[in-house]
Amino acid sequence: MLALPRVMGVLAIVIRGEQHAYGGTGTLVRSTLLEGALSILQAPVRMTAHTLFVAGALTGLKLDWKSPPRKATDIGWSDAARRFALIGAAVASMAAGAALFARPQAILWLMPMGLPLLLAVPLAVLTSRSILGQRLLAQRLLLTPEEHFAPAVLRHAWTHAQRFAAAPQWRDTLSDPWLFHVVRSAMGQRNTVWGSRGKARRLLVRGLLVDQDTERLSASDQMRLLSEPQSLVRLRDHLAANASLTQRRWSDGAALAVAEQSEGLPPRRVGHHRGEVSSC
């Protein structure tokens, strides 16, 4: 079921004479073997994740379905261990139990499913490394025809985009009304203000006082805010309210200083953080 479609796909490409679009017959075969090996190692992990997701949906336990980050990000060892170490420990316990209380040969039957789960932590870390992707790219492996030979319309679009305007940045979403409207409308009507997720987003927004603070957000937090229109609106309104309050405090302080100078009173100093006023 897993190997035959890949073999038939490679044969169909070769019979139609389209292997040049994949870098040649040798590159196509190497890419297919590499992709098949990675799929074999990742299949038990994916099946376990799908099982836990279905179990969580049926039992009402924690269910967190979110879009994966589209930006290349290396996974740390601690993060991978937090997600997969418990599964690996369970598999190791089953293998030890089979060796002690059942037939030792049972371990051989567990290896196709158990070994990838035992290696889930290093597999997740190593396959997330951007340097690995760069090496595969240098060898022209695992590339689609569009990546080998980009269509002319895409090449013209890239040239046009680089010539006339830079790509929008995260901060532009909050400062450009048109871009804010586009991002907000693109996600449709999503109610994300309730539950633990809504509480987490409110705490995140409250910790941001000025526009510069948004630059400290991680890429995952930026993606969460961009994918949740209500959280994005809350962030914009929160920053606008803080900016208005800061401007009003400075205006009041300036007016007070002018009044005191006209009356011959000693100047006062406005506190940097909270607008405290004290005599110099």
Cα–Cα distance between 191 and 182 in angstroms, integer? Answer: 18
Q: Are the C-beta atoms of 219 and 71 separated by less than 8 Å? A: yes
Burial of residue 241, with CB atoms counted within 10 A of its CB: 0-12 exposed, 13-18 middle, 19 or more buried: exposed
Token couple for 219: 């890429």
Computed over its alpha carbons, how large is the radius of gyration of the chain? Answer: 28
pLDDT of residue 271: 47
- pLDDT given for residue 30 in this prediction: 93
How many Å apart are CA 260 and CA 270, to the nearest integer? 13
What SS3 class is residue 278?
strand
CA distance 180 to 229: 10
| Phi then psi dihedrals of residue 71, to 5 deg | -95, 135
Token digits of residue 143? 């590339």
Largest CA distance in the chain: 97
Supply the pLDDT for residue 278.
45
DSSP letters of 194-237? Answer: SHHHHHHHHHHHHT--SGGGGGGS-HHHHHHHHT-HHHHHHHHH
Per-residue pLDDT of the chain (280 residues; tens, 9 = 90+): 678 888 999 999 999 998 888 888 999 999 999 999 999 888 888 888 888 888 877 877 766 666 666 666 788 888 888 888 888 888 888 777 777 776 767 777 778 888 888 888 999 899 888 888 889 888 889 888 888 777 788 788 777 777 766 667 777 777 788 887 887 787 777 666 677 777 887 788 777 766 666 777 778 777 877 777 777 888 888 777 777 765 665 565 555 555 556 655 555 554 444 444 444 4
- Count of all residues that appear for the chain in the document: 280
Q: Strand pairing of 277-279 and 268-270?
A: antiparallel
Closest CA to 88 of 63, 33, 37, 125: 125
- Are 257 and 267 in contact, with CB atoms under 8 Å apart? yes
Instruction: Quote the pLDDT of residue 152.
Output: 80
Answer for the pair 233, 184: CB distance below 8 angstroms, yes or no.
yes
Tell me what pLDDT residue 107 has.
Answer: 74
Buried b (16+ CB within 10 A) or exposed e, 81-117: beebeebbeebeebbeebeeeeeeeebeebeeebbbb
Check: pTM over 0.75? Answer yes or no.
no
Q: What is the pLDDT of residue 148?
A: 78
For residues 252 and 215, give the distance between their C-alpha atoms in angstroms, rounded to a whole number: 29
What residues pair up with 270 in beta bridges, in sequence order?
A: 277
Question: Across the strands, what pairs with 268?
Answer: 279
CA distance linking residue 210 with residue 202, whole number of Å: 15
**pLDDT confidence of residue 259:** 57
Classify residue 121 as exposed, middle or buried by CB count within 10 Å of its CB (0-12, 13-18, 19+): buried
> What are the tens digits of pLDDT across the range 138-148?
888 988 888 87
Residue 222 pLDDT: 79
